[in-house]
Amino acid sequence: MVAIIDYDTGNLRSVINAFNRLGAEIIVTADHQQILQATHVVLPGVGEASSAMEKLRTRGLDTLIPTLTQPTLGICIGLQLMCKSSAEGDAKCMGIFPTEVRFMSPAAEVGLKIPHVGWDNVNWTLPEPPIAKDIPEGAHFYYVHSYAAALCPDTIATTDYGAPFSAALQHRNFIGVQFHPEKSGPIGEQLLRNFLTLKP
C-alpha cells in the first residue's frame, strides 16, 4: 500500500494517476496510522515552502514524516520540505537532508529563465542507485521550480541550470527528487516503478 500524503498543496491527481498506471494500491491520506502502516510513502506538492510547511505542522506531519522507516519519496516541494530550510518564505523545514534550499540566482544571473520549466538532464552521482535502475545516464525529466537544494553528501543526482543543484537526494529510507517523475513519461514511470521495489 502506497500512502500519498494529502496536505492541501495540489498536484495530487497526476501523482495518483501515475501510481494507478503502475497498478499500485494507493491511499490518499493525512491520517498518521494509515501513513505508518503503508509499505511506501509519497510526499508530493507544489506551491510555496513556508505555507506548505505550515500545512504539515497543522496536521502534525512535520514530526511524523522524519520518523518513518519505510521507503519515502519527496517530489518537488516534497524534496524541499525534507531539507533543513528553504529561502522561500524563510521556512524551517524537516531537516532530513543536510542542505538548504536556495533561490536559483546563478541561473538568473546568466540570463536563464526562472522558474526552471521543462525537460532537463539528470546525472547520477552514484554508479546506479536503486531508484535509478534501468534509467540512462543523462535522461531527461520534467522540472517546474524556482528554488533548489544545494549540493550535499546526500546528493545522488545533479542537474546543471546556471549551476549544479541536487536533482535527487537520499538519506537512509528517504529519497527526494526535484523533478516531476509523474510528468516525465516512460523514464519517470521507471523511476516510480523502482521506488515501489524498494524495501524498508
Tell me the mean pLDDT per 10 residues along the chain, length 200. Answer: 93 94 97 98 94 97 98 98 97 98 97 98 90 95 98 98 98 98 98 96
pLDDT of residue 128: 79
Q: How would you classify the pairing of strands 40-43 and 72-75?
A: parallel
The DSSP 8-state label assigned to residue 180 in this structure reads -
Phi, psi of 79 (to 5 degrees): -60, -50
**Homologous superfamily in CATH for domain 2-197:** Class I glutamine amidotransferase (GATase) domain (3.40.50.880)
Annotated catalytic residue 83: no
Question: For residue 136, what are the CA distances in angstroms to 122, 131, 133?
Answer: 9, 12, 8
Annotated catalytic residue 93: no
Task: For Cα atoms 165, 95, 79, give the angle at the middle one, nearest 5 degrees.
Answer: 45
Give kind and range of the element (H or E) at residue 170: strand 164-171
Question: For residue 71, what are the CA distances in angstroms to 46, 121, 175?
Answer: 21, 24, 8
Annotated catalytic residue 109: no
Pairwise CA distance, residues 112 & 48, whole Å: 21
Q: Catalytic residue among 76, 83, 88, 145, which? A: 76
The owner of cell 519527496 is 74
Check: CB of residue 147 under 8 Å from CB of residue 91.
no
Q: Is 152 helix (H, G, I), strand (E, B) or coil?
A: coil
Contacts of 70 (CB under 8 A, 6+ apart): 38, 39, 40, 41, 173, 200
Q: Does residue 106 have a cis bond before it (omega within 30 degrees)?
A: no
132, amino acid identity: A
pLDDT of residue 126: 77
pLDDT of residue 153: 97
Q: Catalytic residue among 83, 171, 180, 189, which? A: 180
Check: CB of residue 147 under 8 Å from CB of residue 49.
yes
pLDDT of residue 10: 73
Check: CB of residue 166 under 8 Å from CB of residue 152.
yes
Residue (of 98, 92, 91, 86) closest to 148 by Cα position: 86
pLDDT of residue 45: 87
pLDDT of residue 55: 96
pLDDT of residue 54: 97
Global pTM reads 0.97
pLDDT of residue 179: 98
pLDDT of residue 127: 76
